Amino acid sequence: MTGALTGIQVLDLSRILAGPWATQLLGDFGATIIKVEKPGEGDDTRRWGPPFVGGADAAEDGTAAYFLAANRNKRSIAVDFTTAEGQALLIDLAARSDVVVENYKVGGLAKYGLDYPSLRAVNPRLIYCSISGFGQDGPYAHRLGYDFLVQGMSGLMSVTGTAEGGPQKAGVALADIITGLYAGNAILAALHHREKTGEGQHIDVALLDCMVAAMANQALNHLASGRDPQPLGNGHPSIVPYDTFPTGDGHINLAVGNDGQFTRLCAVLAVPELSADPRFATNSQRVTNRAALTELLTERLTTAPSAHWLALLEAAAVPAGPINTLGQVFADPQVKHRGLALTLPHPVLGPVPGVACPVKLSGTPITDGQAPPALGADTATVLRDVLGLDQTRLAALAAAGVIGAPSGYSAGDGARNT
């Protein structure tokens, strides 16, 4: 069965996380992703470890878990585009591609003839997505942008953690991940537009823009009130009780979203009088009296272990849940049922772990996958099949250092766990 994007070819000039996350999603949907990497070095994340997959020498083979997280369903070609011949190869590939994705500094690819105006001249239907820290214009356009910096600049760190603990970033690179998702959506929109008009276009996606947009209700709280939201730990600025609470042997999360749920919570905790208390009868009153309610709920919850409360709360249809380690996540029966853990076989490394694409498509299901490729594993195949280069020409390019010789393993067919 073909994927939803089967027949779409993406020339992927991106590296690290935001760009690779976007192209991995497109690859999951069936697009052909040609990942361009520097010979002998490749994507920086190939060596962002430990942990590495594949044993003691894995660091030398570019098998960091970080790289594997964002590069499945891709073909790797090692091409040095600082050379005239390397530039010619990529321009030829762009002329035959539907999409180019890049995350170099603003204007950095122009001197190689790989910027949007240059490639549009050879392929007017091309969709060209530029991912940067701060966008293609504005006073910060030429600054280097990294996830950690943008988490701070976007306001995310000002509302994360506790007031006593100081500014805190999220535990994963949210600015990169969110930007990758916005970029993937923008590319799909541009493909739809091209289907109707035949026109390609340039997409400008910035980490700062995307993270500010992702501040969602917190951003609107500020714009509506003129006040800066403050960190509340795990609490919610607009809903109470919506927080982490201690129990007799640990902690649980409560996510009480309406007055009916609060009434049922009070019944489970054997304090029905709280739901009639004028301080707590409505959500707005509970927000105003957050501290007092939190203290009263904590007194009850600490009298029994987490499992006891979670069972009662589930039976009463009160939203509550555990705080899992990742080991517990992948042992969870719902996570296992949904097939979120992948095993992608390699001819050299053997089984390689991965996390599945979370999207379920009924007509074009995502059922198979290719393991993340070794550096340059597909160079000869792509240049032969797409550009028609023969073995003599490939050998000459390799001898001149324009393309790299494949290293390690090549991407093989993989399948989801079932």
- List the catalytic residues: 176
3-state helix, strand, coil in the chain (%, to 5): 40, 15, 45
pTM of the entire structure?
Answer: 0.93
Nearest-5° Cα angle at 231, 228 to 232: 125
> Each residue of 174-206: pLDDT tens digit?
999 999 999 999 999 999 999 999 999 999 999
Average pLDDT for runs of 10 along the chain of length 418: 92 98 97 97 92 70 87 96 98 98 97 98 98 98 96 97 93 97 98 98 98 97 96 94 97 97 98 97 97 97 98 98 97 96 80 93 88 92 96 95 68 34
Judge whether 90 and 114 are in contact, CB under 8 Å.
Answer: yes
Give per-residue pLDDT as tens, 369-410.
Answer: 889 998 999 999 999 999 999 999 999 999 999 999 755 434
Write down all domains in the chain, each with its CATH number in brackets.
9-214+338-400 (3.40.50.10540), 242-324 (3.30.1540.10)
pLDDT computed for residue 68 by the predictor = 93
Q: How far apart are alpha carbons 284 and 259 in whole angstroms? A: 10
- In the three-class reduction of DSSP (H, G, I as helix; E, B as strand; rest coil), residue 230 is classed as coil
Instruction: Report helix, strand or coil for 112.
Output: helix
In sequence order, the 6+-apart residues with CB closer than 8 A to the CB of 158 are: 167, 228, 229, 230, 231
Cβ-count burial of 168 within 10 angstroms (0-12 exposed, 13-18 middle, 19+ buried)? middle
CA 384 → CA 39, 388, 394, distances in Å? 18, 5, 8
Can you give the pLDDT at residue 347? Answer: 64
* Residue in this structure with the two tokens 């204007």, named with its chain if needed: 107
- The answer to whether the beta carbons of residues 149 and 132 sit under 8 Å apart is no
**168: alpha, beta or left, given left = phi > 0 and alpha = psi -120 to 50?**
beta
163 neighbors 172 (Cβ within 8 angstroms): no
Q: How open is the CA angle 65-17-28, to the nearest 5 degrees?
A: 80
The secondary structure element, H or E, covering residue 252 is strand 251-255
Residue 57: Cβ-neighbour burial (10 angstroms; 0-12, 13-18, 19+): exposed
Strand partners, 368: 415
